[in-house]
Structure 1
Amino acid sequence: MIVVTGAAGFIGSCLVSGLNAKGYEDLILVDDFSRTEKAPNLEGKVFSQKVDREEFAEWLDTNHKMVYFIFHIGARTDTTEFDTAIFDKLNLNYTKKMWQQCAEYAIPLVYASSGATYGLGEHGYSDSHELVEKLKPLNPYGDSKNDFDKWALKQEDAPYFWAGLKFFNVYGPNEYHKGRMASVIFHAYNQIQEKGFVKLFRSHNPEYKDGEQLRDFIYVQDVVSVCLYLMKNKNQSGLFNLGTGKARAFLDLAKATFHALNLEPKIEFIDTPEDIRDKYQYYTQAEMGKLISNGYDKPFTSLEEGVKDYVQNYLVGKRYY
C-alpha cells in the first residue's frame, strides 16, 4: 500500500493520478473528506480506501505492515491564516506523530515542506541543512513548515529514508477549490475570461519594474515526477528544494496565459495592498543542485509549456488531472 495524505487537495490528487498512471492502485487516501468542494479531484481515481485524517494515526498503528511508502502532502496552506494553533495541530504536531510512526515501523516518508520557509530570501535559497535555523518565514504557515524542518533535523530516531520537499510556486490542474490561494495563472485565466485583462501588482521596490517581480513557478506534474522518483530512488535523506531553479516574472506568466488563449496581452497594474506590502517577496529561486546531484535528471517544464498545457488541457473546460 502507498499512503497519500491531502489526497483530495491540489498536489495530493495530482500525485494520486500520477501513481495510477504508473500502475499503482493499492492507495490509501487520507484527508478531511467532509470538504465536498474537493470531491471532483478524486473522480476517476483508483484507490483502495479513504481514511479520515483524524483517524489515520490509529489506522497506521494497525496496518503499518502493509504500508510501502507514505507521501504526506496534506497541510493547512493558507498564508493569510494567523491562528497559530491551527498550524501547530495540522502542520507541526500531526507531522511529528507521522514521523515517529514511520521511524518505528520502518516506513519511508516524503513530506511537504515549503519555499515559504525562506521568508524574504535574506539568507538565500539553499536547501542546506545548516541554513534552516537562520530562516525567518513571513507568516505562521511558513513558520510551521520551518519549525517541523528544524525538529526533524534534530531527531535521532528517523525513518530509514525521508525527504522534506520545499515546494516553491506550484501551479496546475485540480486547484479549482483553493480560492484566493490558487495560483496566479488560475486567477489570470479567470480574469481574462471575465474582464478581458489581467491585473498584476505594481512594484514598490525601485530595483524591480512593474510586473517584473520574480518567482520560481513549477508545474504540478513536475512535482509528481520528483515524488515518484524519490519513491524509487531512496539515495539520500534530507530537505530538498522543489522548484525549477529559474525565476520568472509575473509579466511572463500573464503573457503566457494570454498566448495560450491566442489573445493579445492586456495587463493593468494595481498597488500591492498595504497589509502585505512590507512582506512581499520580489524574488524567489530554488537552488536545485541537491536534487540533481541525487540523480534526478529530468528537465523541468518551462513556464510557457506548463501554462499552455494547464490552460488548454485543463482550465478550458474545467477538466481535472
Structure 2
Amino acid sequence: MIIVTGAAGFIGSGLISTLNAQGFKSIIAVDDFGQIQKAENLEGKIIQEKVERDDLFTWLEQNYKDVEFIFHIGARTDTTEFDKAIFDKLNVNFSKDLWKSCVKYQIPLVYASSAATYGLGELGYDDNEALIPQLKPLNPYGDSKNDFDIWALEQKEKPFFWVGLKFFNVYGPNEFHKARMASVIYHAFNQIKATSKMKLFRSHHPEFKDGEQMRDFIYVKDLIDVCLYFMHHRQDSGIYNLGSGQARTFKDLVINTFKAMDKTPEIEFIDTPIDIRDKYQYFTEANMAKLRAIGYDRPFHTLEQGVEDYVKNYLIPHRYL
C-alpha cells in the first residue's frame, strides 16, 4: 500500500492518477474529506481506502505492516494566512508525528517542503542543507515548512529513506479548487476567457519592470515524475529543490496562455495587494544540480510546453489529470 496525504488536493490527486497509470492500485488516500470542493479531483481514481487526516495515526498502528511508501503532500499552503497556530498544527506537528511513525515502522517517506523557505533569496536558491537554518521565509507558511526542514535535519532517528522536496511555483491540472492560491496560469485562463485580457501585478521594485517579476514555474507532471523517481530510487536521502531550474517572467507565462487559447495578448497592470506586497518574491530559480547529481536525467517541460498542454488538454475541456 502507498499512502498519499493531501490526496484530494492539486498535487496529491495528480500523483494518485500517475501511480494508477503505472499499475499501483493499493492507494490509501489521506485528507480532510469534509472539503467537498476537492471531491472531483479523486473521481475515476483507483483508491483502496480513504482515511481522514485526523485518523491516520490510529490507522497506521493497525496497518503499518502493509505500507510500502508514504508521500506526505498535504499541508496548509495559504501564504496569506497569518495564524501561526494553524501552521504549527497542520504543517509542523502533523509532519513530525508522521516522521516518527516512519521511523517506528520503517517506512520510507517523501514530503513536500517549499521554495517559500527561501524568502527573498538573500542566500540564493541552493538546496545546501547547511544553509537551511539561516533562511528567512516571508510568511508563516514558509516559516512552517522551514521549521520542519530544520527539525528533520536535526533528528538522530530518521526513516531509513527520506526526502524533502522544495516545491517551487507548481501549475497544472487539478487546481480548480484552490481559489486565490491557484497558479497564475489558471487565473489567466479564466480572466482571458471572461474579458479577453489579463491583469498582472505591477512591480513595486525598482529593478523589475511591470510583468517582469520572475519565478521558477514547474509543471505538475514533472514534479510527480520526481516524486516517483524517489519512490523507486530509495537512496540519497536529504532535502532537494524541485523546480524547472529556469526562471521566467509572469509576462512570458501570460503571453503563452493567450497563445494556447488562440487569443491576442492584452495585459493590464494593477497594484500588488497591500497584504502581500512586502512579502512578495520578485525572483526565484531552483538550482537543480543536486537532483541531477544523483542521476535524475529526465528533461522538464519548458514553460511553453507546459502551458500549452495544461490549457489545451485540461483547462479548455475542464479535464482532470
CA contact (8 A) 2:196 2:263 kept: no
Match of 1:168 in 2: 168
CA positional deviation for 1:274: 2.7
Per the normalisation by structure 1, the TM-score is 0.99
Q: CA offset at residue 264 of structure 1?
A: 1.0
Say if 1:88 and 1:144, in contact at 8 Å, map to a contact too.
yes
> In the alignment, does 2:205 pair up with 1:205?
yes
The equivalent of 1:93 in structure 2 is 93
Alignment of 1:185-204 (within 5 A): 185-204=185-204
Give, as a single letter, the amino acid of the residue that structure 1 aligns with 2:53. Answer: R
Aligned partner of 1:74 in structure 2 is 74
> CA–CA distance in 2 between the matches of 1:203 and 1:83?
27
Alignment of 1:127-276 (within 5 A): 127-276=127-276
User: Does 2:28 correspond to 1:28?
Assistant: yes
Counterpart residue number, 1:56:
56
Distance 1:268 1:153 in 2: 44
Q: How many angstroms apart in 2 are the aligned matches of 1:35 and 1:278?
A: 31
Partner amino acid, structure 2, of 1:90: L
Secondary structure of the residue aligned to 1:231 is: helix
Alpha-carbon contact 1:235-1:294 (below 8 Å) kept: no
Partner residue, 1:125: 125
SS in 1 for 2:246: coil
Cα distance in 2 for partners of 1:64, 1:273 equals 46
Distance 2:22 2:294 in 1: 22
Q: Shift in Å at residue 317 of structure 1?
A: 2.1
Match status 1:113 vs 2:118 = no
- Matched-pair contact (CA < 8 Å) for 1:261–1:311: yes
Instruction: Please say if residues 171 and 219 of structure 2, whose CA atoms lie closer than 8 Å, have aligned partners that are also in contact.
Output: yes
Task: Tell me the CA shift for residue 172 of structure 1.
Answer: 0.3
Report if aligned partners of 1:202, 1:210 keep a CA contact under 8 Å in 2: yes
Matched residue type, 1:81 = E
Paired amino acid for 1:238: G
Shift in Å at residue 209 of structure 1?
1.1
> What's the counterpart of residue 303 of structure 1?
303
Q: Distance in 2 between matches of 1:275 and 1:95?
A: 28
Aligned to 1:281: 281
Question: Aligned partner of 1:258: which letter?
Answer: F
> Which residue identity does 1:29 align to in structure 2?
A
Structure 1 segments unaligned to the other structure (5+ residues): none
Does the CA-based 8 Å contact 1:81-1:141 persist in structure 2? yes
Q: What is the CA–CA distance in structure 1 between the aligned matches of 2:164 and 2:92, rounded to whole Å?
A: 13
Q: What is the CA–CA distance in structure 1 between the aligned matches of 2:88 and 2:271, rounded to whole Å?
A: 33
| Letter aligned with residue 285 of structure 2 | Q
Answer whether contact 1:173 1:310 (CA < 8 A) is retained: yes
- Let me know the Cα RMSD of the aligned residues: 0.7
Partners of 1:47 and 1:172 in 2: how far apart?
22
Identical-pair percentage: 65
Farther-moved stretch of structure 1 (241-250 vs 264-273): 264-273
What is the rounded CA distance, in whole Å, between the counterparts of 2:84 and 2:204 in structure 1? Answer: 29
CA distance in 1, matches of 2:74, 2:275: 28
Distance 1:288 1:268 in 2: 33
Partner AA of 2:36 in structure 1:
T
Is the 8 Å Cα contact of residues 80 and 275 (structure 2) preserved in structure 1? no
Query: What is the Cα deviation at residue 273 of structure 1?
Result: 2.1
